[in-house]
Amino acid sequence: MNPGKFHGVIPAMATPFTKDFELDEPRVRTLIDEYLSAGVHGISVAGSQGEFFALSAREHIRLLEISMDAINGRVPLYAGTGAATTRQAIEITSAAQSMGVDLALVITPYFVQPTQSELVEHFTAVAQATTAPVMLYNNPPRTSVNVTAATLAECMRRQDNIVGMKDSSGDLTQSIEYQLLAPRPALLFSGRDTIALAMMLHGAQGTISPAANVFPELMVRMYDALRAGHHEEALRISNIFAPLRAAWAWGSFPVVIKEAMQLVGRSAGPTRAPIAALPPAVREKLSEVVERIAAQA
């Protein structure tokens, strides 16, 4: 693995659906081109923000295929390949391996709430099914499962192609411990926009960012300012995003992201049922937040 290729701002891409709730393949390609034009450093697909849980196995694999073709080697593809069971995750990861994805992003199993020892067995089994780098994905607010730093370290000791963590826990102490306890240098990416800057100051290589769906250029500017040593400007931009992160709570996940994308002219269509569109009054509040961010940018 070339660790230097994995860095920067990676939109946690929302999966586009048509008005009939089918996978919108042309829109996938359009969104990817728009993100790349904004200067992002990679694309993450079929993650939580991408409603992977609402996709059939066929749709999931097709989404990876379209994304690989659309990116065409211009930046790395971070392919979400997690599932509720080890067997399902291996199936999707093996399919991703056959496409030549750059990295498999594997979320914890959900609903079943495995123990830490069961997580080690799960992640190592998935990693054994591919030669691609595997990055674990910790998102306890969504899965009710937390991956400890000791568990990541044990997974990395067992499998050389387990390379690090995307952490959406919001626990900065744990994020730092992922790197401190790792048996070799580990990739670390933020999945929480409000602490993405803090994580990068503590050594994270980048952010797999929900907000970059809406304002990719602004997130890239924050990253560039940080790398240039312009910390006050990076902090200013980070704080601009805070109201958008707070707005995520105004609707069922992940509808607010898609509504915000619509407001900036970057539509990804509706969310799949049972998640419904925002009520008009909430959409109006969200519009005010989006407009305020655009004005400050």
Q: Specify binding-site residues for pyruvate.
A: 208
Tokens for 18, please give them.
Answer: 């048509």
- Pairing label, strands 77-80, 103-107: parallel
- Identified catalytic residue from 110, 137, 178, 223: 137
What residue numbers does the annotated binding site cover?
208
Contact status, residue 268 vs residue 277, Cβ threshold 8 Å:
no
Is 258 annotated as catalytic? no
Closest CA to 177 of 218, 206, 137, 147: 147
Is 166 annotated as catalytic? yes
CA 242 to chain centre: 18
Closest CA to 211 of 60, 38, 59, 74: 38
Residue 66 main-chain phi, psi, to 5 deg: -60, -45
Radius of gyration (Cα) for the chain, nearest Å? 18
- Identified catalytic residue from 35, 78, 110, 166: 166
Find tokens 């980070």 and name the residue. Answer: 238
Would you call the peptide bond into 114 cis, given omega within 30 degrees of 0 as the criterion?
A: no
> Could you give the residue numbers annotated as active site?
137, 166
